[in-house]
């Protein structure tokens, strides 16, 4: 028969150990209470970013659990010296974001100013303007793909009524990116309208009335009163839209597919990273690309925040 | 200093347990512990949208009535399917058991990643089920280094779809050679009336598989005997040029944005005299709700080039078992039942699924559902069929993007020789990187 040699001492010591643990927890309760939120942030935000950063220094491919080698900055230098895919993708990302942002702010402001005045049927118009916003981006992409189809699409049919020759729209490499900007503007301008309209309704009316009494014209009042007062709201809308536009993926993928088209004409950084990760299973390279993209977004946001701060101070 | 009340203690305990569960969930891999088939109540199948998957939905209901095992089917588009697998299998997910996959796209990569179950013993375990009844090329297609990774459930070939009425009106016979095809296509190309000579895939990556039969019929291939890159061979360049010329001169506008969905839509709407793609799309054109050419569509074997009529004859859908599944034996029982002689013949006649069993094709009543011209081509595939339709390596997607380059140059009227030389170097580098 086996004889147990376990000493009973630890069992006897257990209550005091437990008490000291409870006392310690008790002493640091405020720290203990934030554990769930720290765990949440750690697992769902910090861990993925840290793991992506780790993968970016390896040659991980095929499966992340396959043996991988530490390759230092190789993935980064590969991208930064890639004039075929990386830098054109950076250019397209910047162009797409810049153009979409400017157009959406200008058109959005114009529509918001028009909708500010009360008129009959205002409710219906506001609902109609918001419709694109509630549509799923992939469905939006598919819809425009059909409309812009060169042979059987509605867009060229309409052009034909006016005797204008058919256009390549999404299929022509020289116009594809601009067509995508158009789709983005169509879908997201309503959001800018919504934000700016909310901003406009909160503006004080006195300065405008005072200027009107002083004989200022509509443009002068807009330029020197409405616009400066609305600047913080425009800034907020710009930040929100620029983040969204920078990471646009769905409409490009739905209309141009993997690689952003046959000549990569609509390949932005997001589309390029998706292709590297999911099509090519090059997780190391894709991670490096995403880290570079992450840095780019941080730089853009920091710049916008600084500009906003300066504007607020002045 | 204050003391912990019982409720605070239980709150803390619950919070730590929650955090621990999250951590463990993030760290855990798939468990290899297997559940006995008789204890399995549900099986999950992931597959691509295809006629086979449609047929499988009926079979799944019957299987549940017969055995009590509920079979859940998740169907995705082809690209989304591979993304789904990569996400789930990278996380060693065991939340699905049966996986339908495209052999040529992913079998090399998935098997090397250790994601596919070795099914060699399963397929040879039951003489009545009869592994030998599957067509030999199909059996070979699902093996790698003598290991079987799945059961082939569909076969597919590249064929020519044509408009019988247009050819008849112009007095043109059905093209038997690529030269005759070119002449017929240019004769029937009439953009002024909205009819183009030919519609085919022109988008860089999707076109590669359909370019393959042109390549083989010109006497070339993607790789040589030792697996080396051969996409700048004179035959390959001629094939690129031929493919590009057809689409540039007599194809629809915006062709470089076209995959099979767009190109087949043009043909189905009567806007193209010819359409060359996989025979699995035949039923789209015979469906009155999707096609305006139901009565006028004809099917022909891929035309002969300098090397004869050589077209791909592949296995587009294979059904295997997730390596991380905890119900492998039960999964095999379901696969065995769904791919039995009887059910393969049923799917052939009821869902027009071109299966891989010899016995199903030998059954005249089952093959009756197929147009006679198509059955002739399928029966003739043994002599002319090539078992692959894309480069054969682990990184197929990357290779397809490279091979598509010279084809795009040809479609756009660019320098094919220079593009082929560039692509050859990139493709060889890629092959070398796999060792």
The DSSP-derived string for A35-79 is HHHHHHHIIIIIHHHHHHHHHHTB---S-TTS---B-TTHHHHHH
Which residues, 6 or more positions from A107, have their beta carbon under 8 angstroms from its beta carbon? A185, A189, A192
CB contact under 8 A, A281 and B395: yes
| Chain B residues near residue A281 by CB distance under 8 angstroms | 86, 109, 395, 397
How large a percentage of chain B has pLDDT more than 70?
93
Q: Which residue has the higher pLDDT, B54 or A4?
A: B54
Question: Structural domains in chain B?
Answer: 16-156+314-386 (3.40.190.10), 157-312+392-433 (3.40.190.10)
Which value, to the nearest 10 degrees, does the dihedral of the CA atoms of residues B411, B417, B423, B427 take? 120
Q: How confident is the model at residue A55 (pLDDT cuts 50, 70, 90)?
A: very high
Cα dihedral A126, A130, A132, A134 sign: negative
Contact B301, B159 (CB under 8 A): yes
B34 exposure class (CB count in 10 Å sphere: 0-12, 13-18, 19+): middle
Tell me the chain A residues in contact with residue B9 when contact means C-beta distances shorter than 8 Å.
22
Q: What is the mean pLDDT of chain B?
A: 90
Restricting to B residues 103-162, those with a Cβ less than 8 Å away from any Cβ of A are: 109, 112-115
| Mean pLDDT, residues B26-36 | 60
Mean pLDDT for chain A overall: 89
Domains detected in chain A = 86-312 (1.10.3720.10)
Query: Which of A62, A256, A259 is closest, CB to CB, to B112?
Result: A62
The residue among B338 and A10 whose pLDDT is bigger is: B338
Q: In this complex, is the C-beta atom of B406 within 8 Å of any C-beta atom belonging to chain A?
A: no
Contacts A26 to B, Cβ<8 Å: 1-4
B223 phi and psi, to 5 degrees? Answer: -135, 155
Q: Does B202 touch chain A (CB under 8 A)?
A: yes
**Do A66 and B257 make contact, defined as CB atoms within 8 angstroms?**
no
Residues A146-170: pLDDT tens digits?
999 888 889 999 999 999 988 999 9
Burial class (CB in 10 A: 0-12, 13-18, 19+), A13: exposed
CA distances from B365 to A281, B34, B368, B375 (A): 45, 41, 5, 12
Radius of gyration of chain B (CA): 25
Q: Does B17 touch chain A (CB under 8 A)?
A: no
- Is B254 within 8 Å of A172 when comparing Cβ atoms? yes
pLDDT at position A15: 60
Interface predicted TM-score (ipTM) of this complex, two decimals: 0.81
Phi, then psi, of B299 in degrees rounded to 5: -120, 130
Alpha carbon of B287: minimum distance to chain A alpha carbons (Å): 20
| CA–CA separation, A176 and B186 (whole Å) | 29
> Per CB distance under 8 Å, which residues of A are interface residues toward B?
22, 25-27, 29, 32, 35-36, 39-40, 43, 47, 62-66, 149-152, 166, 168-173, 176, 256-259, 261-263, 278-282
Which of B22, B112, B254 has its CB closest to that of A171?
Answer: B254
Residue B343 structure tokens: 């059910």
Confidence of residue A14 (pLDDT cuts 50, 70, 90): low
Task: Identify the band that residue B27 occupies on the pLDDT scale cut at 50, 70 and 90.
Answer: very low
Q: What is the pLDDT, as a whole number, of residue B364?
A: 85
- pLDDT value at position B32? 60
Say whether pLDDT at B9 is over 50: no
Tell me what pLDDT residue A29 has: 87
- Which residues in A lie closer than 8 A to residue B1 (C-beta atoms)? 26-27
Instruction: List, for residues A163-191, the tens digit of each pLDDT value.
Output: 998 899 999 999 999 999 999 999 999 99
Min Cα separation B255/chain A (Å): 7
B415, B409 Cβ separation under 8 angstroms: yes
B205 and A168 in contact by Cβ < 8 A? no
B303 in contact with chain A, both atoms CB, cutoff 8 A: no
Asked if A39 and B19 come within 8 Å (Cβ–Cβ), the reply is yes
Across the range B80-90, mean pLDDT stands at: 93
pLDDT value at A11 more than 60 = no
**Do residues A180 and A252 make contact, with C-beta atoms less than 8 angstroms apart?**
yes
> Which of these ranges, A92-101, B62-71, B144-153, B372-381, has the smallest mean pLDDT?
B372-381
Q: Where are the beta strands (DSSP E) in B212-288?
A: 272-278
Residue B307, pLDDT above cutoff 90: yes
Question: What pLDDT shows up at residue B8?
Answer: 44
Q: Do B18 and A171 touch (CB under 8 A)?
A: no
| Contact criterion met (CB < 8 Å) for B202 and A262 | yes
Contacts of B82 in chain A (CB under 8 A): 278
In this prediction, residue B198 carries a pLDDT of: 98
Task: Give the H or E element holding residue B48.
Answer: strand B42-48
B75 Cβ under 8 Å from any chain A Cβ = no
Closest residue in B to A264 (Cα) is B204
B141-177 pLDDT tens trace: 999 999 999 999 999 999 999 999 999 999 999 999 9
Q: Residue B224: CB partners within 8 Å, gap ≥ 6?
A: B230
| Residue A232 clears pLDDT 60, i.e. is over it | yes
- Nearest chain A residue to B86 by CA distance is A278
Per-residue pLDDT band at B7 (split at 50, 70, 90): very low
**A275 CA to chain B: closest CA distance, Å?**
9
Q: Are the Cβ atoms of A259 and B204 closer than 8 angstroms?
A: yes
**pLDDT computed for residue B4 by the predictor:** 41
Write the pLDDT tens digit of every residue in B350-402: 988 999 999 998 888 888 888 888 888 887 787 789 999 999 999 999 999 99
Q: What percent of chain A has pLDDT over 90?
A: 60
Average pLDDT over residues B181-198: 95
C-alpha distances in angstroms, B158 versus B27, B223, B280? 45, 20, 9
| Cβ–Cβ contact B19 with A under 8 A | yes
Count chain A–chain B contacts defined by CB atoms under 8 A: 116
pLDDT digits (tens, 9 = 90+) for A208-222: 889 989 988 889 999
pLDDT band per the 50, 70, 90 thresholds, residue B31: very low
pLDDT at A120 over 50: yes
pLDDT for A79? 97
Sequence-distant (≥ 6) Cβ neighbours of residue B102 within 8 angstroms: B48, B78, B81, B82, B316, B317, B318
pLDDT of residue A25: 84
Q: Which of B254, B262, B271, B405 to mutate to test the interface with A (most CBs of A within 10 A)?
A: B254
- Give the predicted TM-score (pTM) of the model: 0.84
CA angle, B174 then B179 then B182, to 5°: 75
Q: Using the beta-carbon criterion (under 8 Å), do A171 and B253 form an inter-chain contact?
A: yes
Which of A132-136, B68-72, B277-281 has the largest mean confidence? B68-72
Strands of B182-302, DSSP E: 196-199, 272-278, 297-301
SS3 at position A266: coil
Average pLDDT, stretch B65-85?
A: 93
Given CB atoms, is B429 within the 8 Å cutoff of chain A?
no
Q: Which residues of B touch A40 (CB under 8 A)?
A: 22
Please indicate if any CB of chain A lies within 8 Å of the CB of B266.
Answer: yes
């Amino acid at each position: 028969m086996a004889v147990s040699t376990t000493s009973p001492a630890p069992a006897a010591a257990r209550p005091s150990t437990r008490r000291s643990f409870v006392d310690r927890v008790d002493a640091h309760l405020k720290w203990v209470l934030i554990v769930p939120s720290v765990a949440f942030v750690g697992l769902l935000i910090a861990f993925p970013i840290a793991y992506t950063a780790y993968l970016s220094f390896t040659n991980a491919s095929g499966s992340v659990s396959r043996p991988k080698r530490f390759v230092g900055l190789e993935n980064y230098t590969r991208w930064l010296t890639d004039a075929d895919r990386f830098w054109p993708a950076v250019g397209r990302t910047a162009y797409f974001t810049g153009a979409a942002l400017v157009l959406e702010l200008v058109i959005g402001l114009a529509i918001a100013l028009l909708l500010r005045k009360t008129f009959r049927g205002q409710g219906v118009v506001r609902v109609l303007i918001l419709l694109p916003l509630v549509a799923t981006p992939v469905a939006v992409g598919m819809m425009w793909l059909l409309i812009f189809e060169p042979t059987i699409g509605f867009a060229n049919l309409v052009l034909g009524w006016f005797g204008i020759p058919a256009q390549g729209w999404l299929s022509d490499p020289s116009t594809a990116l601009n067509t995508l900007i158009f789709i983005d503007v169509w879908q997201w301008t309503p959001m800018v309208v919504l934000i700016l309209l909310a901003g406009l309704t909160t503006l004080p009316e006195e300065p405008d009335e005072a200027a009107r009494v002083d004989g200022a014209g509509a443009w002068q009042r807009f330029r020197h009163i409405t616009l400066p007062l609305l600047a913080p709201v425009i800034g907020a809308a710009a930040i929100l839209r620029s983040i969204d536009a920078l990471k646009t993926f769905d409409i490009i993928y739905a209309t141009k597919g993997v690689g952003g088209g046959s000549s990569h004409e609509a390949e932005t950084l997001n589309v390029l990273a998706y292709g590297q990760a999911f099509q090519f299973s090059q997780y190391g390279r894709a991670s490096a690309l995403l880290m570079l993209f992450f840095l780019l977004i941080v730089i853009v946001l920091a710049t916008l925040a600084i500009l906003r701060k300066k504007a607020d101070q002045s | 200093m204050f003391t912990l009340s019982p409720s605070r203690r239980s709150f803390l305990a619950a919070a730590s347990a929650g955090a621990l569960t999250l951590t463990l969930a993030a760290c855990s891999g798939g468990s290899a512990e297997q559940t006995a088939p008789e204890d399995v109540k549900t099986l999950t199948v992931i597959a691509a949208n295809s006629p086979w998957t449609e047929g499988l939905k009926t079979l799944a209901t019957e299987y549940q009535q017969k055995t009590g095992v509920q079979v859940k089917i998740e169907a995705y588009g082809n690209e989304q399917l591979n993304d789904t697998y990569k996400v789930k299998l990278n996380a060693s997910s065991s939340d699905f058991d049966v996986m339908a996959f495209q052999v040529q796209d992913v079998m090399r990569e998935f098997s090397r990643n250790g994601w596919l179950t070795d099914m060699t013993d399963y397929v040879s375990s039951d003489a009545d089920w009869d592994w030998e009844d599957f067509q030999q090329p199909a059996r070979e297609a699902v093996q790698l280094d003598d290991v079987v990774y799945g059961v082939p459930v569909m076969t597919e070939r590249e064929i020519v779809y044509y408009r019988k009425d247009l050819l008849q009106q112009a007095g043109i016979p059905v093209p038997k050679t690529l030269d005759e095809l070119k002449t017929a296509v240019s004769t029937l190309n009439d953009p002024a009336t909205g009819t183009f000579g030919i519609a085919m895939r022109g988008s860089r990556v999707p076109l590669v598989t359909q370019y393959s039969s042109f390549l083989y019929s010109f006497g070339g291939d993607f790789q040589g005997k030792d697996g080396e890159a051969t996409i700048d061979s004179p035959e390959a360049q001629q094939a690129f040029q031929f493919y590009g010329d057809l689409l540039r001169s007599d194809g629809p506008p915006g062709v470089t944005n076209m995959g099979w969905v767009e190109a087949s839509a043009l043909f189905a709407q009567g806007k193209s005299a010819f359409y060359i793609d996989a025979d699995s799309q035949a039923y789209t054109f015979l469906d009155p709700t999707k096609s305006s050419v139901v009565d006028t569509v004809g099917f022909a074997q891929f035309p002969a080039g300098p090397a004869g009529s050589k077209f791909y004859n592949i296995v587009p859908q294979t059904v295997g078992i997730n390596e991380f599944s905890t119900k492998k034996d039960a999964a095999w029982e379901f696969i065995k039942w769904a791919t039995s002689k009887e059910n393969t013949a049923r799917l052939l006649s009821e869902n027009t699924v071109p299966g891989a069993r010899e016995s199903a094709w030998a059954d005249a009543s089952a093959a009756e559902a197929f147009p006679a011209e198509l059955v002739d081509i399928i029966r003739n595939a043994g002599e002319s069929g090539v078992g692959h339709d894309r480069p054969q390596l682990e990184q197929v997607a990357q290779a397809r993007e490279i091979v598509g380059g010279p084809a795009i140059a040809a479609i756009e009227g660019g320098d094919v020789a220079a593009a082929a030389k560039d692509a050859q170097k990139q493709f060889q580098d890629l092959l070398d990187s796999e060792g």
